[in-house]
Amino acid sequence: MNRNLITRLGTASGVVAALVALVFGVLLQAVRESDRATDRVRAAEALVVREASRALSPTADRSPASRAAALTAIRARSRDAERLRRDAEDDVRRATVIGVAGMVLATLLLFALTSYLTRYIVVPLRRVNRAASALAGGDLDARVAEEGDAEPVELARSFNAMATNLQATQARLEEQNAALAAETRRIEVASRVNRAVLDATPDPIGLLDRDGQLVAENAAMATLWQRHARVDAPGLDPDREVRDEAVFDERTYRRYAAPVRDSEGERMGRLVALHDITSERESERLKDEFFALVSHELRTPLTSIIGYLELVRDEEDDLPPDARRFLGVVDRNANRLLRLVGDLLFVAQVEAGRLSLERTDVTLAAVVTQSAEAARPAAERGRIELGADLADVPALAGDPDRLGQLVDNLLSNALKFTPEGGHVTVALRDDGDAAVIEVADDGVGVPAGDQVHLFERFYRSSNAVSAAMPGAGLGLAICRTIAEAHHGTIALRSTEGAGTTVTVRLPYDPSGRAS
């Protein structure tokens, strides 16, 4: 309802109020005139009564002339009183007529105003009310007819626009509800699938709350939890990720535990996953025992074979060239097999925790030089240029035999994977707080996908396997073990087709000795 309608309603109400006030004013004036006329009539009648009382009093003049004069005066007063009474009645009638006319006019104006309000306000409001009730009842097609004065039409138009927007909003909500229902069904299906997958997984998986109580788990974790209420790593920072091993029911598990956080980064609990590695550990133990046994059983006859070969080669000048060549092949392969047996025994010692170092002051330049000289015949046979760049570094406390074994393995690998005409370089330098040994070649290199596994036992790169190159995949694993036993590190960088560089870093202590 706009300002024009309010103005018109105010004007009409003012006119009606003024007319009613005028009518009541006229009626009030008529009543007052009637009262005054009545007072005059009563005064005239009182005069008539007084005149009659004087004429009839005992002291009055009773002569005929006096009586005639008194009667004449009484008649005159009576006529005046009658005239005043008639005038008063006329005034009352006029006031009544005016008042009634005013009341009728006011009633007509009120009726007109009521009709106007009913037609232009009440009826449109009723239509809007009916449409609003229909909307509230769910009939989103309910609309108000846009007819009548400007104000009701504007009100109806606004209501219809609101209803249209409400209908569009309802349609969007229904679409969103349908999409939400479909997403809910999809999530429920995914949840059931995840639950089925988790329950089918033999590895125990569970979610712990902040108090360490199990709140979600698969079937394997539920079974384990009944016997062990503590599968998390106790005594550790709950905000840290944990990767370790744990034993439950005489079985060994690889354990992974990590914090689970909400959208604000607050820790809600911890996810714990266990993987049974009992069979793996038993297999590794049996394998290590087998390697140790086989290596020991092979080493004794190999030592005898090599000893007899040395005796025979002492007299090889008397042998024909083919026999000498055959003896050389047998000697190389016997020594290669002996080195392999030694590697297997070394790995078995490491796995059994029996690796010991005979520490002494080691001059690394001498160790590297000895290894380079030992590798030079193999480099010459392969027509590979072997160079050495050795700086003067401080002595460190270590096992010279094991460090020599480390350099031997690195040079052997480099020569093995470098083609004829290639280059292999061994370098030694001082890096401030550590000695650095670096063996580089320009050979076939290592594929990027294999590099992360090269320091694992028995792992061989894919190009070595495809080229049928000899080896058991133990050389770099042994190098890493020896470097770590000296508190050092070993790293490899390689580009396939361009070569490989292996860097060993052996730290000093503050006095210049090994850590």
Lowest mean pLDDT among 143-147, 206-210, 296-300: 296-300
- Give me the mean pLDDT over the 378-382 stretch: 87
Residue 83 sits in the same domain as residue 98:
yes
Residue 396 has pLDDT above 80, yes or no: yes
Domain end point (choices 185, 200, 215): 200
Helix (H, G, I), strand (E, B) or coil at 474: coil
The arithmetic mean of pLDDT across residues 89-96, rounded, is 72
pLDDT at position 511, please?
42
Task: Tell whether the model's pLDDT for residue 510 goes beyond 70.
Answer: no
Question: Is residue 266 scored above 80 in pLDDT?
Answer: yes
CA dihedral (333, 335, 341, 346) positive or negative? negative
Is the model's pLDDT at 230 over the cut of 60? yes
Q: What is the pLDDT of residues 303-316, one digit of tens each?
A: 888 787 777 777 77
pTM of the model: 0.44
Question: How many domains would you assign to the chain?
Answer: 4
Q: In the beta sheet, which residues pair with residue 276? A: 253
Domain shared by 11 and 152, yes or no: yes
Write out pLDDT tens, residues 464-480: 545 445 556 777 888 88
Is the domain of 263 the same as that of 330?
A: no
Q: What is the mean pLDDT of residues 384-406?
A: 89
Question: pLDDT tens across 126-172, in order?
Answer: 777 888 888 788 887 888 777 766 777 787 888 888 888 888 888 89
Q: Secondary structure of the chain: what % helix, strand, coil (to 5)?
A: 60, 15, 25
Q: For 21-49, what is the mean pLDDT? A: 69
Which residue, of 165, 181, 200, is where some domain finishes?
A: 200
pLDDT at 96: 74
Same domain, 293 and 331: yes
In this prediction, residue 503 carries a pLDDT of 93
Where among 259, 276, 293 does a domain terminate? Answer: 276
List the domain range (segments joined by +) for residue 460.
Answer: 359-507
Does the residue 512 lie in any domain?
A: no
Same domain, 67 and 171: yes
CB-CB contact of 340 with 472 (8 Å): yes
What percent of the chain has a predicted confidence (pLDDT) above 90?
9
Looking at residue 515, its pLDDT comes to 40
Q: Is 287 found in the same domain as 270?
A: no
Claim to verify: residue 28 and residue 54 sit in the same structural domain: yes
Task: Output b/e per residue, 34-65; b: 16+ Cβ within 10 A.
Answer: beebbebbeebbebbeebbeebeeeeeeeeee
Higher pLDDT, 461 or 214: 214
What pLDDT, on the 0 to 100 scale, is given for residue 19? 67
Task: Quote the distance between the C-alpha of residue 352 and its chain's center.
Answer: 47
177/213 same-domain check: no
What confidence tier does 514 reach under pLDDT thresholds 50, 70, 90? very low
Query: Residues 122, 251: one domain?
Result: no
